[in-house]
Amino acid sequence: MSAPALFLFLAFYLYPALQNIRLATLRWNGIEKAEQVGIRNFTNLLTNDDLFYKVLGNNLEFTFLVVLFQTSLSLIFAIYLTKNSKVNVFLRTLYFFPTILSSVSVGLIWLFLYDPNYGAINLFFSKIGLSSFALNWLGSESSALYAIAFSQVWFHTGQMMVVYIAAYSRYQKNFMKRQKLMAPHAGNNSRASLGLWLFRQLLW
């Protein structure tokens, strides 16, 4: 029963990964005979390629922004939408909807929204008299990373929200006990405390 899954893992995951490691130790233009150079490619990357550090910094900043805002927003939504009222169910569905879209669809949606000439975002700013906020969102070095990070947060926040709500359902009994204990101190950021508790339960 596991043979097909094992074949797919070996053929489409392990083998390509090992091939990438092997190719990384070669000097090869894709046509002529490859030359084995060992770790020289990695040494050059770390010592002679300034672009590598810029790319690495951009990746770290992107990861930090996405993890911070995606986790925070999904936790906030989960805390406020735990009750099964009609409004909450509607909002859960609304927030979760982007998750069911394909990555290609999401990319096309935000490509249209960010378009500097006829995109909906710049059109909105122009209509309300804030043309100075209309930017070339994906073509400017100062805004491209943040624009892409925002679309990523929009794409997956609903998915994480559902995970947090599921965690609440799992720990509902203890959650309600804590909520009752905190009721007399509702002014002392009780929702924040409950959110942190729920976050810890999910992690551990």
pLDDT tens for residues 10-55?
Answer: 888 899 999 999 988 988 887 888 888 888 888 988 888 889 999 9
Q: Under 8 Å CB-to-CB from 157, ≥6 apart: which residues?
A: 69, 70, 73, 74, 77, 95, 98
pLDDT > 90 fraction of the chain, expressed in percent and rounded: 36
**Runs of H (alpha helix) within 81-115:** 86-96, 103-114
- HSE (side-chain half, CA atoms, 13 Å) at 57: 5
Predicted confidence band of residue 201 (pLDDT cuts 50, 70, 90): low
Measure the CA–CA gap between 200 and 71, rounded to whole angstroms.
12
Residue 170 half-sphere exposure toward CB, CA atoms < 13 A: 11
Distance CA 38, CA 54 (A): 25
pLDDT tens digit sequence for 143-168: 999 999 999 999 999 999 988 888 77
Give this prediction's pTM: 0.74
Residues 53-112 pLDDT 10s: 999 999 999 999 999 999 889 988 888 887 788 888 898 889 999 999 999 999 999 999
Close Cβ partners of 77 (under 8 Å, ≥ 6 residues apart): 91, 95, 157, 158, 161, 164
User: Helical H runs in the chain?
Assistant: 3-9, 15-23, 40-48, 50-80, 86-96, 103-114, 120-127, 144-170, 172-182, 190-203
Are the CB atoms for 173 and 90 separated by under 8 Å? no
